[in-house]
Each structure stands twice: as C-alpha cells, then as structure tokens.
A and B are shown apart, each in its own frame.
Chain A
Amino acid sequence: MLQGALAGLAAGGLYAVLAVCLTLMSRLVRVVNFAQSATGMFGCYVAVFLAVHLGFPEWLATLAGILLGGALSAVLGWIVSTWLAEADTGTRSAVTVAVLLLLISLAFILFGNKPQPFHPLLAGPAFTVGGVVVSQVTVVTVALAVLVALGCRAVLARTSLGVRLRALSERPTTAELLGIPARPLSVGVWTATGVIATLAVSIVAPSQSNDPTSLAMLVVPAAAAALLGGFRRLDLAVAGGLVLGMAQGAVAQADKLSVLRYFLPFLVIVALLLWTQRKEVWDAAR
C-alpha cells in the first residue's frame, strides 16, 4: 500500500499544481477554468512538434511550448474579461468548456492520434526509501505544487499587486472605480496560471501515456482537489491533490479495488459537495 501511495505521488503533485491554478483562477478572476490542463497539453504538443519536425533544441522547444500555453490562456482571459466582464461565474466557466473541447479536437487534427515522442525533461529515480523508489518527476512536481502555493500566498498577502488582486476579486466594481486596472490584471492571472500549468504538464507528460484527451482531462482530478479547499484555500488544494494521487496509487495495488481508481475523483467531488451542502435546507440546496 505504501509503495502504491508513493507511486501515485507524481500524479498527485501534478493534480496539486493544477488545483492551485484552478483555485487562483476561481478566487481572482471568478472562473472555473476547465481548459486549464488542455492549454498545458496543447503547449506540450507544440513543443514536441517543434523539437521533432523543425529540429529545435529540446530546451528551446519546451520553453516555446510553455510560453504558448501562457499565451493561449492569456487570449482566453482577454476574451472572457472583455466580453463577459459582467457575466456570472457559471457563464464565464462555460466558455472554458468550449475551449477544452476545441483544444482536444485541434490537437487530434494537427498532431494525429498516434503517440508523440516526448523527450523527458527528468528521468529516472531520485532516491529510495525503504525499498520504494521515488522518481525525479515526483520530487519536482510535489516541490512545484508547494512552491507555487507558497509563492501565490506570499504575493497575495504581502505585495501591493496582491492587494489589488484581492480588491478586484472581492469587490470588482469598487476596485475598478478606485482606478485598479481590471482587465490587464485579470489577463495577467490567466497568463501566469497558463504558464504554470504548461510547465507542470511538460514535466509529467513524458513520463506517462500522453494522448491529448487524457492530458486535457487531468482537470477532473485537479478540480476534485481544488474542491477540497472550496476553490478558495491554496493549502487545502495542494493537500487534496497529493492525497488524491496517493489514494489512486494505493487503490491500484489491490486487484479488487483497482477498478475504483479512475472513479475516485468523481467520488471525491460528490462526497465533498454533499458535505458542504449538509446544513442547507432542501429548498436552498437544490
């Protein structure tokens, strides 16, 4: 079981990074970005294309892919904050579902449905604990999740940029009337999360099977993790991602439970929703 849990930690790290991005987006720009991992996937696929077909050096191709992931997210953010500035969270989020489907289809059209020769940025084991191998990918994704969460918290709590962002998220109209530039700041948040998500997917994608659909659908376990923190708390989002990854790894160790593995995120989502709604009376909850 412990072995399985550690084996699931790399996936857990990735979920945690994506969950942190989702939480930031939800808090700061009022959107549940369903295209979060799809933009990352698309950036990675473009990076592989640049490296394999145009002969770019690996590092340059990866960098270009990460920048593209950020740029895609920025464009999406610009569209949402320009035309849907006054819309509610549901409407703004619905747009990202369309982008998710668009990016999956586009990846199939542009790159075909054969696996891509991803070049690993990190390969091999980092260290062994009691006979259990922890891979380099695991170490880096977990560290990335924690660092991003800490970094974001520091920026939000301690810098003037953070104060403006918080003002914008709490009272958007008041903040704008006070002269805080809403659209550039929103697009900035979209860009940053796009870059972080693409970086995380770039690290993990070469170490697993990496077709466009499975990479884009990583948003489901990430959303389950973000839900643990109610799409507000970064620390719980990180914990949720890591625990979910480890639970999936552990469950895969028992033949009878193994089939549960891919349902776990959905079970977690349902359980958390029921828990958060427990005090609602029937009329208010439905």
Chain B
Amino acid sequence: MRKVLPTLAVAVLLATAGCAGSDAGSSGPIVVGSVNALSGAATFPESSQAAKAVFDAANAAGGVNGRRIEYKAIDDKGDPSAAAAAAREVVGGDSAVALVGSSSLIECEINEKYYEQQKILSMPGIGVDPACFSSPNIAPVNVGPFHDMTLTLLYGSEVLKLDDVCALLEIAGNTLPAYQAAIDEWTKITGKKLKYVDSTVPYGGSDYTPYIVKARAAGCKAITVNPVEPDSIGQLKAAQAQGWTDVTWLLLTSVYSENYAKAISNAGAGVYVPAEFSPFTDAAAPANQEWRDLMAKNKIPLTSFSQGGYLAAKYFLAVLRGMKGDITRETVTKALREMKPISDPMVGTPYVFGPAQAHHDNTAGWPIKLATGTNKWELSARDWLRIPRS
C-alpha cells in the first residue's frame, strides 16, 4: 500500500496536468457556463435551453475556429448556497471562459463578488435582482424589472394619459431602493408623482383583497405592480370580486406569458406590459423568425426567457467569432470589454458589455396589452418605447 500511494499520486498529478494542458490549449472545447433556477418554487429553464440550442447549432456548423462549445447549465434551485456552489462548480471546476444565458432570481447578488475575483464576465439571458444591473462583471441582455417599471409608468402617463397612478410593490430582499429609483426616474422625466405607494404587498400572498380595497379607497385609476404571475392573477381577481372594473394595470414583463393570458378573463380596463424583447405572441414579427424556428426545432417554449437566452448566446458567439488568437477566460473577458455594440431587431437597444462599472443599458420595451375577455396579448404600439436619455 505504501508503494502504491505515491505512484497513484504521481499518476493523478500527471493526469490533472494533462487535463489542464488540454484546457489551456487551442484545440479542446470552449467551456461556457450558466447558473439558473431550474428547480424550486419559481423556475426559468428556457433561457439556458435556448442558449444551448444556439451553441448546439454553432457546433453542428463546425464550432468556433474548429473548437466545440461545451455549454454547462447548472441549477441553483433558487437557493443562495446552491447558487454559490453552482458558480464555483462551473467557474472554478470546469474553467469556463464566461457565463452566458443565466437566469435566476438571486444568482447575481450571490456571485457578483466571486465573478470579480475570478475575472470572469457573465451575460445573463434574464437578470432579475438589482445586482445584475450594478456589477462591473455582469451585463444582462434583458431590460430588467427596474427599467421595466419606468417604461410601464411612462406608457401609462404619457401615452394612455392616465392620472392618479398608484404603485403596489412586492419587495423581496433589498429591491425597494431600485424600484424607488425607477419611479424617481419616471418622475424626473414627466414631472408627475404617484398618487399612492404601498410597498408592503407580500410575495405569494393568498388574498390580496385588503390591498386592493385600500388602493381603490385612495382613488387610484391605474396601478403599477411588480408581480410574479400567480400574485398578479390574485390581485386582478380581488379587484374583480370588488367590482372594480375601470382600473388600468401597468405591469412588468414578468406576467407576459400565454399562461397568464389564459388565466385572466377579466382584466379591468386592460393590462399593459412593456415586452422586453420583440413580442413573441406576434407570430408575424419578422424580428423573431429565426428565434422562433430554432425554438420550434428544439421544442423550447416561446417565452421572454427563451428570447433572452437565445440573444445572450448569439451576442456571445458574435464576439467569439471576432476574436483572433487563443480563446481563454482572459482573452474572452478582454474581447467583451472591448466589443462594439451589436444591434438586433429583437431588442430596441444595442447590446454592449464594455468597461462600465454597472450595466443597465437596455432601455426599450414594446408596449403590449391584454384586454378583458380576449385571453390574448395584442400589440399596442408600432415601435419601441424608449426611456429618454437624460
């Protein structure tokens, strides 16, 4: 046994050295990772599925400079410790060159410092928590809930000309200052103020009637909320049970799904949402054609999440293909920092990673609406609605 152990140790050392050698070289696969909510209470598997579909198609067409892309989508289960472990597995263990197409409720906040230490960049398909939009190493593809809130308020007050707009905010963790900043931005642009803000509305509440009654008594004509689907359904039903049918709902992309439309038959004076990507429910949109075909081929649901993952992978491939020389974490990070903005008809704002300390540059949404009794999303604008640059 004593003789075996050193031999084994030498063998292991040789093997790991061999592996490390092949990783750093220019012939092995390029490892790309992502951290996602694939299981747990709220899941978004479509983003990484879509990114994988893009990479699979690229591999089938010969890869990047003859190298395959090996895509690893790790589950964070919506759990902070699992999110930290997932990032370490893919960044430390698998030596990924970048993270692409992640979508998680908590991942950015948990891992931003680790990404800075490891000098790795992340391009989430869908960024949700405030840290996704305030870290130098993370640049999500999507608009995000905060700019979404400014956009939905702008549409309500400037296009629909609604007065007496109120806000019901569901606050999880440290998101209140970010939503407040989004509302303040709207105030700065329009000079208008919200009639009433209730930031005590709980996530996953069972009965929202008391909050609805309170908002109605306050004289709200329109309400902006940052809900997840089940909560929004509960709120609309509570309003319906109260006979409050003339209230307009200014909601976020978080409720933009076929499923939500089916569940809502009485939408009051209408549900308005700024779609973060070219509206996927519009089958005729040429901007979405390529994405739609790829998703259909891979049997991936048509959602905003799959749009985000698809675009993240597409942008990343474009940067990778423009690189000369070795593809390593250092060179990829450098290339993303120095990339030129990429425009795509699926979004209203060009994407660029760049050297900024915060990445919150996507400022365009496409207004869509859900009317009472239709159970279908309709376009309510012909072009992107943009937050004016101040």
List residues of A whose CB falls within 8 A of some B CB.
3-4, 6-8, 10-11, 113-118, 120, 123-125, 132-133, 135-138, 206-211, 213-215, 218, 248-250, 252-253, 255, 258-259, 261-262
Contacts and interface: CB of A to CB of B under 8 A. Distances in A.
Contacts of B208: 208-209
12 contacts: A3-B213, A8-B209, A10-B241, A124-B243, A125-B241, A132-B213, A133-B244, A207-B238, A209-B231, A211-B204, A249-B213, A252-B211
Given A133-B243, A209-B205, A210-B234, A114 B210 contact: no
A206 to B, nearest CB: 7
A10 B209 contact: yes
A185 B198 CA distance: 51
Interface string B171-200: 000000000000000000000000000101
B157 to A, nearest CB: 24
Given A114-B259, A255-B198, A7 B237 contact: no
A208 B238 contact: yes
Interface of B: 41-43, 198, 200, 202, 204-214, 217, 229-231, 233-235, 237-238, 240-244, 257, 259-260, 262-263, 266
Contacts of B207: 8, 10-11, 207-208
Contacts of B42: 113
Given A4-B213, A4-B214, 20 more contacts: A3-B213, A7-B210, A7-B212, A114-B257, A115-B259, A116-B263, A117-B259, A123-B241, A133-B243, A138-B241, A207-B238, A207-B240, A208-B207, A208-B234, A208-B238, A209-B234, A210-B234, A214-B204, A248-B210, A252-B214
Contacts of A3: 213-214, 217
Task: Enumerate the 9 nearest inter-chain pairs by beta-carbon distance, A residue then B residue, closest first.
Answer: A209-B234, A252-B210, A258-B200, A125-B243, A135-B241, A117-B263, A115-B230, A7-B213, A7-B209
B237 A208 contact: yes
B256 to A, nearest CB: 13
Contacts of A259: 200
B241 A115 contact: no
A252 B200 CA distance: 8
Contact of B200 (A135, A209, A210, A255): A255
A253 to B, nearest CB: 6
Contact of B41 (A113, A138, A206): A113
B227 to A, nearest CB: 9
A256 B204 CA distance: 19
Contacts of A4: 210, 213-214
Nearest to B237: A207
B243 A115 contact: no
Given A123-B266, A253-B210, A136 B234 contact: no
Contacts of A114: 229, 257, 259
Nearest to A120: B237
Contacts of B229: 114-115
Nearest to A136: B241
Given A8-B207, A11-B209, A252-B214, A262 B242 contact: no
| Interface-centre pick from A211, A213, A261 (highest chain B CB count, 10 A) | A211
A207 to B, nearest CB: 5
